[in-house]
Amino acid sequence: MIIKAKKSLGQNFLIDKNILRKIIDFAKIDNNSEVLEIGPGSGNLTDFINQKKPKKIHVIEKDENLVQILKNKFKKNINIINEDILNYTGSSIGSDKLIIIGNLPYNISSQVLVKFIINKNNFKFKKLIFMFQKELADRILAKVNSSNYGRFSILANWKFDIKKVIDVNPNSFLPRPKVMSSLLIFIPKENIIKFKDVKNLEHITNIFFNQRRKKIKKPINFLFKSKLGILKKYNLDLNLRPQNLKPETYYSIVKEYENL
């Protein structure tokens, strides 16, 4: 069947069976798992998920036309939710067996990831397996002192252990995207640093990385005014740049900021 892809919805369908199989193998889905797929499209990946016979499959797809196609293809086997993932709040499907998987629409992939980091509704899940543009994946994986290091690595590492599974060539998709993609797996950490409000982590990293080439003197003064005890406590040199502070240092700064 020929489906006309909508660019506005980031539709690049995965057509490479080897890659589809690899994604499913790395996801380690078994007949005890529950799966939520984000953006199933015409169901290429869903087919492979279905073959592993998990307990339940839920999919969230925004495009009504594709929802019709999915309904015909899968009949009653799966729970098809016609919604925008960014608005989705239904925590009724959350569970500690839930594997969330998605070849994400690239125009919203960072927002989807941040949604599961902030996790406002306390949605339960076991792991995330997401396909990103390689450029964003590199930023998520970046280590301190590297040029790609910034907000995404700090936010994502707060909550998850992250690994790259594979890089995926544009030829594996239809239509072909312009850039390489990477598949990442995110396992929630057992002990995460607790904040009064996770939004403060977003807020603080925004303030530091809005001017990523400038010294940290400005954001520190802006946030802490005259209360600069943190400089000594964390051994901070105001001549450093935002990319020189470890994720853990940012988490400490957030805690100090929350206690001002």
Task: Tell whether residue 10 is a contact of ligand SAH (CB under 6 A).
Answer: yes
| DSSP track, 159-226 | HEEEEEEEEE-GGGEESPPSS-EEEEEEEE-SS----S-THHHHHHHHHHHTTTTS-THHHHHHHHTT
Nearer to ligand SAH, 13 or 250 (CB): 13
Q: Which stretch binds ligand SAH (CB under 6 A): 7-15, 119-127, 135-143, 183-191?
A: 7-15
Nearer to ligand SAH, 38 or 204 (CB): 38
Smallest distance from ligand SAH to CB 68, Å: 12
| Coil/strand/helix, residue 36 | strand
Task: Tell whether residue 19 is a contact of ligand SAH (CB under 6 A).
Answer: no
Is the previous residue joined to 105 through a cis bond, with omega within 30 degrees of 0? no
Q: Are strands 173-174 and 13-14 parallel, antiparallel or unpaired?
A: antiparallel
| DSSP track, 85-152 | GGG---GGG--TTEEEEEE--TTTHHHHHHHHHH-TT----SEEEEEEEHHHHHHHHPPTTSTT-SHH
Smallest distance from ligand SAH to CB 172, Å: 9
Q: Which stretch binds ligand SAH (CB under 6 A): 6-14, 158-166, 178-186, 214-222?
A: 6-14
Smallest distance from ligand SAH to CB 32, Å: 23
Nearer to ligand SAH, 177 or 215 (CB): 177
> Closest CB to ligand SAH belongs to which residue?
39
Distance from chain centroid for Cα 260: 30
- The correct pick among 25, 30, 84, 258 for binding ligand SAH (CB under 6 A) is 84
Q: Where in 34-53 is the site for ligand SAH (CB under 6 A)? A: 39-41, 44-45
Q: Which stretch binds ligand SAH (CB under 6 A): 69-77, 81-89, 220-228, 249-257?
A: 81-89
Q: Where in 51-80 is the site for ligand SAH (CB under 6 A)? A: 60-63, 66
The CA distance from 7 to 111, in Å, is 18
Q: Where in 85-104 is the site for ligand SAH (CB under 6 A)? A: 85-86, 103
| Coil/strand/helix, residue 53 | coil
Task: Tell whether residue 110 is a contact of ligand SAH (CB under 6 A).
Answer: no
Nearer to ligand SAH, 166 or 193 (CB): 166
User: Could you give the C-alpha distances from 7 to 22, 72, 151, in angstroms and in order?
Assistant: 26, 24, 27
Positions touching ligand SAH (CB under 6 A) are: 9-14, 39-41, 44-45, 60-63, 66, 84-86, 103, 105, 108
